[in-house]
A and B are shown apart, each in its own frame.
Chain A
Amino acid sequence: MTKSKNMKSIVTSELPKCPSGIQGLDEITFGGLPQGRPTLVCGGAGCGKTLLAMEFLCRGALTYNEPGVFIAFEEKEKDLEENFASLGFDLKKLVKQKKLLIDYIYIERSEIEETGEYDLEGLFVRLASAIDTIGAKRVVLDTIEALFSGFSNQSILRAELRRLFRWLKEKGVTAIVTGEKGESLLTKHGLEEYVADCVIFLDHRVNEQIATRRLKIIKYRGSKHGTNEFPFLIGNNGISVFPMTSLLLSSSVSSQRISSGIKSLDAMFGNKGYYRGSAILVSGSAGSGKTSFGAQFVDSVCRNGQRALYFAFEESESQLSRNMTSIGIDLKKWIDKGPLRVVSNRATLCGLEMHLVMAHKAVKEFKPAVVVVDPITTMIGSGIVDEARAMISRLLDFLKNEGITVLATDLTLIGDRGGETEIGISSLCDTWIKLSMEMQDYQRIRRISIIKSRGMDHGHETKDLVITNKGLEIKDIPGVREGYK
């Protein structure tokens, strides 16, 4: 019967959803948790179950005007208030405003003697009273499995749980039930048996000494959902889920152009420069001028009154701006004035996902028109090549979707003559500029060529790249004429 009901709802419209308000979660669930139904959130110790559940209530109360009840079996009201204060949630205030009600239920088996039959009507009464007191639309039971350690009669318990979930559905509240990860089952006591509509699994694992939190939707009845594992971060304002892999190639393209900051390079792109919102890869060996390339681009962007974000994985902010003054680019001026922000991190500082997450955050906060990632290849150092590739493509996709022009530099090793950059990111980029060094009469000469540039006319000849004290300049190689056009 439920099946036919579900079928029907697919035909007419999607299931009603209850937006969780948690960053990213609503995107991968296409709208939120199933409204008026319970959702199971499970995972190992310290994976963020309680946080997710509590944030669901807080966001509900703050953003959607839906009061919530938090039934805590593990932590006292005071402990919860203290713990969440550090994440920027003022539970006390919400409680005072009657938008949140926390009820701590204490069960200690050793203090309770069992004789004959009983039921859990007490829990129902408490829950009902809590719901009615503040007119709650959302309920969290964290974690209901505590009941299993509190009572010995399993058959009563299981029957009562089934009744509880039926009752919650009848009440029409959107509920989150948390459960500890089990050995063979999803949860220790098989809660998934009762909560069958939506199951979210949280994971916290360490790979090559780098810890990442991940979230996966195991099932969601009557709704489509992202099936991948999504990284998430517990930051200073709660959970952020990053649905990067769910991005589609649906970004709207722009035919606007943006200057590369180097006049003579713009000339190679039909006097107009790059496409706005495209991805540009600058690859070259050490010392070929990649960073200068990025800096000059950023400088020109700021000069035109737009914002730029520079991810420096090899240099600190002050080092970068000092070095660039030697070629006549004053980055410090832009940093002080505001249109430029330099984010410098060692690639090994944290995991790939974390880098992604930080990049995501910085971009969302700063809203730049241009992002420079210098160099994008350091990422490989902090992870496995496959993962690095996936992560870079996700980063580029994300930036493209936001309509941001991204310039990534890529270090190719000397002697690496292959046309493929190390992690095959060239195919993700729209424009690929290659810098190289050539030996000529005991001198090393910088050369530049445009290997590809999607959708535009561009020069095909290799030219000289000269680094002057007024920035980069591109010159014809003496004797080589433009003969291809």
Chain B
Amino acid sequence: MKKTIYKLALYVAGATPKSLEAFANLKNICEEYLKGKYSIDLIDLLKNPKLAKGDQIVAIPTLVRKSPPPLKKMIGNFSNKEKVLVGLNIIEQG
């Protein structure tokens, strides 16, 4: 169970203050709770618009948890740490 690796993808559109903030928030949470067992793939849709289709991205920023399954999506700037942790199943709800 400890071996679980979190493969995350963060979709943004350009280096806007919003996306930078989201990335920073996410990074902080991951560093705190998942140190050493996560990877964040930062995908800029402005450079690669075709990638939006694969994960059905509509809102920005979107975080996709590619593994462990099931696939999960989260949108927003991840300012609410509790919600992010619950959403990614890092800590159990409750």
Residues of chain A at the chain B interface (Cβ within 8 Å):
103, 105-107, 111-126, 128-129, 147, 150-151
Give the number of residues in B that approach A within 8 Å (Cβ atoms).
31
Selected from B22, B58, B61, B83, the residue in CB contact (under 8 A) with A107 is: B58
Q: Give the interface SS of chain A, mostly helix, strand, loop or mixed.
A: mixed
Nearest residue, chain A, Cβ from B50: A129
Considering only residues 44-85 of chain B, those with a C-beta below 8 Å from chain A are 45-46, 49-50, 52-53, 56-62, 71-80, 83-84
Q: Are the CB atoms of B60 and A126 closer together than 8 Å? A: no
Q: B77 — which chain A residues lie within 8 A by C-beta?
A: 115-118
Taking Cβ atoms with an 8 Å cutoff, the residues of B that contact A are: 11, 13, 18, 22, 25, 45-46, 49-50, 52-53, 56-62, 71-80, 83-84, 87
Q: How far is the CA of A38 from the CA of B84 in the complex (A)?
A: 38
> Once the chains bind, are B87 and A122 in contact (CB under 8 Å)?
no
Contact A150 B79 (CB under 8 A): no
Neighbouring B residues of A123 by C-beta, 8 Å: 58-59
Q: Distance (Å) between the CB of B23 and the closest chain A CB?
A: 13
Whether B58 pairs with A105 at a CB distance below 8 angstroms is yes
Closest to A129 in B: B49
* Least CB distance, B52 to chain A, in whole angstroms: 5
* In the bound complex, CA of A119 to CA of B76 (Å): 8
CA distance A147 to B58 in the complex (A): 9
- Interface pair B60/A119, CB less than 8 Å apart: yes
From known contacts A111-B72, A111-B73, A113-B73, infer whether A121 and B13 are also in contact, taking CB-CB under 8 Å. yes
B14 (CB) vs chain A CBs: closest residue:
A121
Q: Which residue of A lies closest to B56 (CB)?
A: A106
In chain A, what residue has the closest Cβ to B75? Answer: A118
| 12 CB < 8 A contacts A-B | A113-B72, A114-B74, A115-B78, A117-B18, A118-B60, A119-B18, A120-B58, A121-B13, A122-B45, A122-B58, A122-B62, A126-B58
Cβ contacts under 8 Å, A119 to chain B: 18, 59-60
Q: In the complex where A116-B79, A129-B49 touch, is A107 in contact with B74 (Cβ < 8 A)?
A: no
Q: A126-B57, A151-B59 are in contact. List 4 more A-B contacts (CB 8 A).
A: A111-B71, A118-B62, A119-B60, A128-B49
Instruction: Tell me the minimal C-beta distance from B48 to chain A in angstroms.
Output: 9
CA distance A120 to B76 in the complex (A): 11
Nearest 4 pairs of A and B residues by beta carbon: A129-B49, A116-B76, A121-B60, A113-B87
Q: Which of A112, A124, A128 contacts B75 (CB 8 A)?
A: A112
Contact yes or no, B75 A113, CB < 8 A:
yes
Among A111, A112, A115, A126, the residue within 8 A (CB) of B83 is A115
Cα A124 to Cα B76 in complex, Å, equals: 17
Q: What's the Cα separation between A292 and B37 when bound, in Å?
A: 93
Max chain B CB contacts within 10 Å: which of A123, A129, A150?
Answer: A129
Q: Which residues of B contact A150 (CB under 8 A)?
A: 58
A125 touches B45 (CB 8 A): yes
CB pair A115–B58 under 8 Å, yes or no, is no
Contact (Cβ within 8 A) B56 A125: no
Instruction: Tell me how far the C-beta of B59 lies from the nearest C-beta in chain A, rounded to whole angstroms.
Output: 5
User: A107 CA to B56 CA in the complex, in Å?
Assistant: 8
CA distance A103 to B53 in the complex (A): 8
